[in-house]
Amino acid sequence: MGTVAAHGLRKSFGKVQALDGVTLDVPNGAFFVVLGPSGAGKTTTLRAIAGLEKLDAGSVRLDGRDATADTPAERDLAMVFQSYALYPRRTAYENIASPLRARRSSSSEIAAAVDRVASLLHIERLLQRRPAQLSGGEMQRVALARALVRSPRAFLMDEPLTNLDLKLRVEMRTELTRIHRSLGATFVYVTNDQVEALSMADQVAVLKEGKVQQVGTPTEVYERPANQWVAGFVGSPPISLLACHAEGDRLVGADGWTLPRPRWTTAEDGRALMLGLRAEDLSVEQRGDASLPGEVYGLEPLGDRTVVDVRVGTEILKVKARPTITGTPGERLQVTVDLDRAHLFDAGTGLSLSQAGR
Amino acid sequence: MAVSVDEAVSAGPVPKHAPPTRRRSGRGRAIVEVALLTVLAVVMLFPVLWMIETSIKENRDVYAVPAKFFDFDVTLDHYRDVFVSSGLSVSFLNSVIVAGASTVLATVLGVPAAWAYSRFTLKAKKDQLFFILSTRFMPPVVVVIPIFLMYRYIGLIDSALGLILIYTAFNVPFTIWMMKGFVDEVPAEYEDAAMLDGYTRLQAFRKFTLPLLVPGIAATAVFALIFSWNEFVFAIFLTSSDEVRTAPPAIAGLIGGTTVDWGLVAASSVVFALPVLIFAYLVRKHLVAGVTLGAVRR
Ligand SMILES: Nc1ncnc2c1ncn2[C@@H]1O[C@H](COP(=O)(O)OP(=O)(O)O)[C@@H](O)[C@H]1O
Ligand SMILES: [Mg+2]
């Protein structure tokens, strides 16, 4: 068992409101990702769940029982810190053994458990080294091992892969997903990397300035962002946003372009809107009835695809194209829009107006 | 020491000469520096050398006019007197007890307090810390009369316990301030990690943070020890009997009769100075590391 529920968490540091009513419901066995930019309150959320932060308001329930007043030890959680927090004077072995020593396991049990987790994470040959003798990736594995050596109620992980180089990060992503599946345990995983969130999570909570913006599966968050900010934060290249308003059966852009008004939107005429278009829902190669006139602004070849920056009026659209495409800046072209997959937001509140009709 | 060197170098009589000195070639500058430092060292070390010389001179040579620098007869009689006939050995023992006990007490009280001030959010923390520091603003002699009266009232006058308590009272604020710098340097996340491992907050402090503080504690304790060991004003006001007196007032008491046994005074002063020197030498690495660690924020 391992459900984690946080309700209405509030915490301020002086004038900074780090958590402004955070509510999360993590089901048993989930890979639950908290995604947000730096300073969003992700670490504070994890620390509050772990019992390391005294809350101004809110409650934490573990396995359905109120644990708000429990000490960290009583909560039976394991955490991987963003800084790893490996004990500097102790060997990797002793670091990994620490949770078992604290719980008074026998030394034969400890040896067996450390061996098991060391082979799981391929760090057998590092066990006698101290943290100062380990590379970043090795420290990260040891920190993971210290958490995984026990079977706690849930694992809390604070950006464990952020400090690794790209290749190692991609490897560890797969490995962590594999470990999660084989353990069947509850993971609460914090990251500022939306690729990590989308590729690893069962469920994502998007956090900004201490407030949860949206909770959902990676697909939901990507396909149906609750507001303009989530749409902009999730996805790479970032979604392109164009100011416009509805006029009868047309959408009219601030720069004068027009598109057919999508059937699903309920926005009344004249209301200030933002049209959100993802790169893969735009094309410079196909023809369709919904298209925008623009000119090539730049090309960004990425190997498997090329992102074409197209200037429409004063704004830049990012358009996904095949890798072999060519174009010279200034060249005029039409960008075809898949309006069924477009997003509309209220320009004032930023809230999505797309949900209703889909 | 470093400060006084800098002052001695920069506060030359004719400031106009300073820039040419700076611009001189590496070797010329080194010669000037060595010369200045030599002068300074001679001035500062002469009294110490003289004390050591006097402590091993035959009495005849101690009082010789003109003073003998090199060709005196060497004797260790004065040192024998310090421990055998003068009764000073009791004072030294008292000093060891008083300085040792007050240092231990100040460390035991001050280190956890420093940890608490470093780790926890407290109401008016800055004001509290300023108040603690402010107890060190005035010279101790200012409060010696009221303390004397209080001690007489509660019967702590002329007792080792009285001295231990007053020295502890002076060393605790110092220990808190010095140690808070060291604790600030140890990431709180080690304790957080330990608490998630299953330790209590105090266990986390004891098993994970405290071992990392040992160099800082050593440096702080040496300073506290030196303060208690050297303290003179309270010792002379609050104690009167030879059985209780610590070494500083006891040595001072040797001066003042009709004849002064300068050999004995010098020998007891050397004996008095040695432990602090040896101790400071043993922990010198920690002292330097400690002072810079505590002062420089990363
Ligand atoms: N101990 C602290 N003291 C003061 N401010 C803090 C402290 N911890 C976090 N904050 C502030 O709270 C906000 C959220 O921080 P954090 O939870 O660390 O964000 P994240 O992990 O998402 O980057 C930030 O503005 C940060 O500066
Ligand atoms: Mg963080």
Cα A39 to ligand 2 centre (Å): 7
For A207, the enclosing helix (H) or strand (E) is: strand A203-208
* Domain final residue, candidates A184, A207, A226: A226
The answer to the question of residue A353 being in a domain is: no
Considering the domain architecture, whether residues A11 and A144 belong to the same structural domain is answered as yes
Which of A11, A12, A13, A55 most suits a substitution to test ligand 1, by most atoms within 8 Å of the C-beta? A13
Instruction: Write out pLDDT tens, residues A198-251.
Output: 999 999 999 999 999 999 999 999 999 999 999 999 998 999 999 999 888 888
Shared domain check, B226 and B148? yes
Q: Which of A82-86, A87-91, A253-257, B43-47 has the lowest mean pLDDT?
A: A253-257
Do the chains contact at A87 and B189, CB–CB below 8 Å? no
- B24: pLDDT strictly greater than 60: no
> Which of A166, A192, A226 finishes a domain?
A226
Q: Which of A73, A88, A146 sits opposite B195 (nearest CB)?
A: A73
Rank A328-332, B41-45, B258-262 by mean pLDDT and report only the highest: B41-45
Q: Ligand 1, atom 20: nearest CA belongs to which residue?
A: A39
Q: Does B6 touch chain A (CB under 8 A)?
A: no
Answer yes or no: do A273 and A132 share one domain: no
- pLDDT class for A193, splitting at 50, 70, 90? very high
Centre of ligand 2 from the C-alpha of residue A174, in Å: 22
The string of DSSP codes covering B228-292 is: HHH--HHHHHH--STTT--HHHHHHHHTTSSS--HHHHHHHHHHHHHHHHHHHHHTHHHHHHHHH
Pick the most confident of A233-237, A291-295, B20-24, B200-204: B200-204
Model confidence at B288, in pLDDT bands (50, 70, 90)?
Answer: low
pLDDT at residue A267 tops 90: no
Q: Residue B70 sits in which domain range?
A: 19-78
Looking at the fold, whether B61 and B105 belong to one and the same domain comes out as no
**Main-chain phi, psi angles of A38, to 5 degrees:** -60, 135
Give a yes or no: residue B11 inside a domain.
no
Residues B163 and B283 in one domain: yes
Using the predicted structure, report yes or no on whether residue B7 has a pLDDT greater than 70.
no
In a domain, A201, yes or no: yes
Q: Do residues B122 and B213 share a domain?
A: yes
Q: How many domains does chain B have?
A: 2
Tell me the mean pLDDT in the region B218-239: 92
Domain interval for residue A146 = 4-226
What's residue B17's pLDDT? 47
Of B187, B199, B212, the CB nearest to A85: B187
Measured in angstroms, the CA of A70 and the nearest CA of chain B are apart by: 12
Domain-located, residue A358: no
CA distance A118 to chain B (A): 18
Q: Are B48 and B180 in a shared domain?
A: no
Average pLDDT over residues B10-39: 67
Domain boundary (A160, A192, A226) is at: A226
**CATH value at residue B200:** 1.10.3720.10
Name the residue facing A85 among B189, B198, B200 (closest C-beta): B189
CATH (domain of A97): 3.40.50.300
- Is residue B296's pLDDT more than 60? no
Final residue before a domain boundary, out of B31, B53, B78: B78
Cα-based distances in Å from A331 to A60, A316, B240:
57, 14, 102
pLDDT digits (tens, 9 = 90+) for A89-118: 999 999 999 999 999 999 999 999 999 999
Query: Are both B72 and B90 inside the same structural domain?
Result: no
Q: What is the complex's ipTM, to 2 decimals?
A: 0.88
Instruction: Please report which confidence band the pLDDT of residue B290 belongs to, taking 50, 70 and 90 as the band edges.
Output: low
Q: pTM for the full model? A: 0.83
Residue A178: inside a domain: yes
Task: Say how far apart CA B178 and CA B185 lie, in whole Å.
Answer: 12
pLDDT digits (tens, 9 = 90+) for B37-55: 999 999 999 999 999 999 9
Checking if the pLDDT of A53 tops 90, the result is yes
Tell me the nearest-neighbour CA distance from B196 into chain A, angstroms. 5
Rounded CA separation B173/B175 (Å): 5
How far apart are alpha carbons B40 and B222 in whole angstroms? 26
Cβ(A192) to ligand 1 under 6 A?
Answer: no
The pLDDT of residue B295? 42
| Count of C-beta atoms within a 10 Å radius of residue A229 | 18
Take atom 25 of ligand 1 and give the residue whose Cα is closest: A39
Amino acid identity for residue A273 in this structure: L
